[in-house]
């Protein structure tokens, strides 16, 4: 802090110079113009300079005292800060120990509270069990009192029957009850089996009815197809008869054509006055021979016509000459 004060002294004097000395110098310049005596002005300036020097020294002393006070205060603050840090550190340790002790105490109290609640719940459960046992004992006592008349009745039954003890009667009764249950269970089983058999029979009957209906539908379809096939048979039979008639007609026509070809072939043979070695049933060869004969006749006829034309032309030329 003292070093900082020594560094601020030039700045302080500079500020004081700007604020006071410059103002005084300006005033001195103004007064010089109005002064009549330079000596008086000089004396006044010296006096003002001394006053300024004294003022500066006083202010410097005051500033130094202030800086020393600030340094002392700064040292006190550092000491207090160190003391405060030590106290805070010590307080932190104490607080940590207190927190640790408090947490342990809370855990212990929680465990004790849980144990107390557990004991209370166990006590409450024991009370409930005791109350339930008392109620059960009371019910059993009431039942014994209620069934005491049956004990007397069983004693009378033993006396009047061939049984020797009441326990024998009870065993016999339990045996009969068990047999009755078995009979009821067997009867129930037979009923269930009968119901199941009825269901199976109904299901089988329904399935067979569906099959019969399906077979009836198929039979109707087959009958319809049979009728259609029978109608088709009649149609095809009529068509077959028509085809046979046409075939017969074509056969007759073919026979007629063959006879005509044979007649033509025989006529050609007579015209040619020679026998041709052609089988009687070979109509194709006969037809070829007829065609060849006709072609030859055509060629001969054309040749004769050509010669006649030439003769006529020659006769015409001779007539012209």
CA distances from 71 to 7, 30, 61, 82 (A): 14, 43, 15, 17
- pLDDT at position 300, please? 84
Q: What is the CA radius of gyration of the chain?
A: 80
- pLDDT at position 33, please? 47
**Below-50 pLDDT ranges, the chain:** 1-7, 30-36
Model-level pTM? 0.28
In the chain, where the domains are located? 2-104, 245-320
- Cα 143 off chain centre by: 65
- pLDDT at position 3, please? 43
Torsion angle defined by CA atoms of residues 48, 51, 57 and 60, in that order, rounded to the nearest 10 degrees? -80
Buried b (16+ CB within 10 A) or exposed e, 79-97: eeeeeeeeeeeeeeeeeee
Whether 283 and 262 have beta carbons less than 8 Å apart is answered as yes
- Count, in order, helices (H) and strands (E) of the chain: 5, 0
Distance (Å, rounded) from C-alpha 37 to C-alpha 282? 188
Q: What would the two tokens of residue 278 be?
A: 């052609």
- Three-state DSSP at 278 gives coil
């Amino acid at each position: 802090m003292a070093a900082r004060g020594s560094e601020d002294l030039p700045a302080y004097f500079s500020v004081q110079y700007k604020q006071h000395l410059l103002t005084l110098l300006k005033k001195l310049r103004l007064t010089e113009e109005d002064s009549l005596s330079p000596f008086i002005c000089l004396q006044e300036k010296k006096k003002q300079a001394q006053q300024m020097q004294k003022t500066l020294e006083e202010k410097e002393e005051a500033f130094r005292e202030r800086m020393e006070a600030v340094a002392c205060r700064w040292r006190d603050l550092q000491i207090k800060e160190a003391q405060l840090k030590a106290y805070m550190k010590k307080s932190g340790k104490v607080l940590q120990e207190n927190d640790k002790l408090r947490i342990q105490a809370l855990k212990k109290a929680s465990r004790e509270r849980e144990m107390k609640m557990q004991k209370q719940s166990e006590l409450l459960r024991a009370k409930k069990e005791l109350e339930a046992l008392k109620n059960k004992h009371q019910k059993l006592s009431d039942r014994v009192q209620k069934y005491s008349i049956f004990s007397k009745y069983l004693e009378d039954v033993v006396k009047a029957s061939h049984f020797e003890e009441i326990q024998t009667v009870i065993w016999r009764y339990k045996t009969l009850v068990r047999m009755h249950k078995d009979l009821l269970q067997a009867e129930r089983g037979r009923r269930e089996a009968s119901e199941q058999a009825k269901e199976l029979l109904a299901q089988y009957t329904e399935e067979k009815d569906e099959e019969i209906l399906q077979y009836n539908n198929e039979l109707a379809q087959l009958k319809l197809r049979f009728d259609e096939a029978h109608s088709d048979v009649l149609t095809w039979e009529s068509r077959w008869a028509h085809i046979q008639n046409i075939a017969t007609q074509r056969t007759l026509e073919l026979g007629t054509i063959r006879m005509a070809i044979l007649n033509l072939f025989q006529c050609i043979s007579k015209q040619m006055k020679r026998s041709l070695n052609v089988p009687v049933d070979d109509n194709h060869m006969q037809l070829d021979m007829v065609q060849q004969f006709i072609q030859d006749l055509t060629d001969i006829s054309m040749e004769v016509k050509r010669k006649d034309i030439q003769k006529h032309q020659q006769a015409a030329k001779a007539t012209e000459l």
